[in-house]
């Protein structure tokens, strides 16, 4: 831990004579301005760092490192075994054992970070960033604990996926043989890297409360039949629309890396009060099957609870089963969403994922139901990309316009 009496530079701006953080005793700030600027990310680790007991070090070969889990909103401090190895020239070096965190049958990258691109200076100690080499196309889920850092500032950042580990080598440059305990100064330097790497500033339209957000309306039978509306209709919303504060989400689209917000529209009185109209062909005008299947539950931890409206794994909740009506869909990050994108998402849920969920709950007897883990493994970006191209081919053969970018490229 940093000596509070020792002079050191500010971890935000690099000015000298910085003061120590009272809680973690590891980060230095030259002013309250710099401390406040660092707080949105510093708070993710400050408390746990102050409680991390270095007297419990398992062995002399263990170093303090940071693990970025996929499914949690904060990174975690861990003891990482860093065994000593012999090089071909007779020298020795420490090699942290990251394999247990990366998962089976994966190839891992170790990328050295010897330079801070934000402060434009060489680091006194080199940070090593470790991640799956194939995380962008092997089905790895978006990393929520890295997103906890990148979502603290507006803009578009690199799509970090899968488990990630960071540790530090003692000394500058990329050839240091000895590892050291990761500290909060290192965490700030890693934060700068995450906020710099592949960063794209937000478009001007995302910076204004009056900006128009492109979304899609999934029209129910009532709106389609009574007003001749298309199944998937382009709409525009302001960035302050209610959907961004009061909404539902889709577990399936989140798993494939396209998180959305959804909101049901009030029913139009013209068809809501004319349920027996023959134009509906004996169907409920509230019927919106695509919106229902967009909300299928694929969380194995959810149990059926009729009082709460939950039907559990493989089923949409009761509120998405009855009197659904038309539904608005937008991207959570407010990127443009086009009708063909939502059509593809709905048909992916209906045609690809619904049968897997049905199989897992025994609807294909006498076949042995597939495991939930298998269903989750197949609910991923690669299978959605395959379905997207299959839909484009069907549209092209039908003579429809397919000059639409992938939803991942918007």
Residues of the chain with pLDDT under 50: 1, 206-207
Q: What is the pLDDT of residue 108?
A: 87
Q: What is the pLDDT of residue 207?
A: 46
Q: Any idea of the CA torsion for 193, 194, 200, 205, to the nearest 10 degrees?
A: -130
The token pair at 2 is 């940093």
Q: What is the pLDDT of residue 323?
A: 87
Q: What is the pLDDT of residue 5?
A: 57
Question: At residue 302, what are phi and psi to the nearest 5 degrees?
Answer: -80, 125
Please give the DSSP secondary-structure letter assigned to residue 204. Answer: G
Instruction: Classify burial at 170, counting beta carbons within 10 Å of its beta carbon; exposed 0-12, middle 13-18, buried 19 or more.
Output: middle
The token pair at 316 is 């949409």
Closest to 345 measured CA to CA, from 216, 228, 207: 216
With contact defined as beta carbons under 8 Å apart, do 2 and 28 qualify? Answer: yes
The label of the residue with tokens 């049901």 reads 264
Q: What is the pLDDT of residue 168?
A: 96
Q: In what order do the strands lie in the sheet with 327-331?
A: 232-238, 212-218, 327-331, 260-264, 248-249
DSSP reduced 3-state for 400: coil
Largest CA distance in the chain: 87
**Cβ-count burial 76-115 (b if 16+ within 10 Å, e if not):** ebbbbbbeeeeeeeeeebbebebeebbeeebebeeeebbb
Q: What is the pLDDT of residue 88?
A: 82
d(CA 16, CA 187): 19
Q: What is the pLDDT of residue 1?
A: 45
Beta-carbon count within 10 A of 6 CB: 8
d(CA 264, CA 242): 11
The token pair at 143 is 């990393």
With contact defined as beta carbons under 8 Å apart, do 132 and 140 qualify? Answer: yes
Q: For 333-374, what is each residue's pLDDT tens digit?
A: 999 999 999 999 999 999 999 999 999 999 999 999 999 999
d(CA 149, CA 164): 13
Closest to 260 measured CA to CA, from 348, 175, 193, 192: 348
d(CA 123, CA 173): 8
The label of the residue with tokens 């090089």 reads 87
d(CA 262, CA 245): 11
The token pair at 181 is 């305990």
d(CA 205, CA 223): 30
Residue spans per domain, the chain: 39-196, 204-403
Q: What is the pLDDT of residue 310?
A: 86
Please tell me the pTM assigned to this model. 0.52
d(CA 116, CA 185): 12
């Amino acid at each position: 831990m940093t000596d509070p009496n020792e002079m050191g530079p500010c971890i935000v701006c690099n000015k000298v004579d910085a003061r120590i953080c009272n809680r973690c005793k590891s980060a230095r700030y030259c002013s309250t301005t710099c401390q406040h600027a660092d707080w949105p990310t510093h708070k993710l680790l400050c408390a746990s760092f102050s409680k991390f007991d270095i007297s419990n070090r398992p062995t002399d070969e263990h170093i303090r490192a940071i693990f970025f889990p996929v499914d949690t909103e904060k990174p975690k401090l861990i003891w990482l075994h860093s065994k000593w190895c012999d090089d071909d020239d007779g020298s020795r070096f420490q090699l942290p054992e990251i394999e247990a965190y990366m998962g089976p049958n994966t190839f891992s990258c170790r990328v050295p970070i010897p330079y801070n691109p934000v402060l434009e200076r060489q680091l006194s100690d080199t940070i090593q960033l470790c991640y799956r080499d194939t995380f962008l196309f092997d089905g790895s889920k978006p990393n929520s604990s890295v997103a906890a850092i990148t979502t603290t500032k507006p803009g578009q950042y690199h799509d970090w996926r899968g488990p990630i580990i960071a540790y530090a080598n003692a000394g500058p440059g990329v050839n240091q043989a000895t590892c050291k305990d990761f500290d909060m100064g290192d965490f700030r330097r890693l934060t700068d890297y995450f906020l710099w790497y592949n960063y794209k500033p937000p478009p001007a339209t995302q910076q204004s409360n009056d900006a128009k957000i492109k979304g899609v309306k999934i029209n129910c039978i009532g709106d389609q039949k009574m007003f001749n509306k298309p199944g998937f209709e382009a709409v525009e919303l302001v960035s302050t629309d209610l959907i961004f504060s009061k909404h539902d989400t889709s577990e399936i689209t989140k798993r494939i890396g396209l998180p959305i917000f959804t909101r049901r529209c009030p029913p139009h009185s013209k068809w809501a009060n004319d349920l027996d109209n023959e134009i509906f062909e004996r169907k409920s005008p509230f019927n919106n099957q695509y919106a229902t299947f967009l909300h299928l539950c694929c969380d194995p931890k959810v149990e059926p609870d009729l009082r709460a409206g939950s039907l559990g794994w493989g089923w949409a909740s009761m509120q998405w089963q009855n009197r659904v009506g038309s539904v608005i869909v937008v991207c959570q990050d407010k990127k443009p969403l086009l009708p063909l994108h939502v059509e593809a998402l709905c048909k992916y849920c209906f045609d690809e994922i619904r049968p897997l969920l049905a199989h897992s709950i025994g609807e294909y007897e006498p076949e042995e139901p597939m495991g939930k883990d298998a269903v989750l493994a197949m609910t991923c970006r690669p299978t959605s990309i395959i379905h997207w191209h299959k839909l484009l081919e069907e549209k092209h053969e039908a003579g429809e316009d397919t000059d639409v970018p992938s939803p991942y490229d918007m």
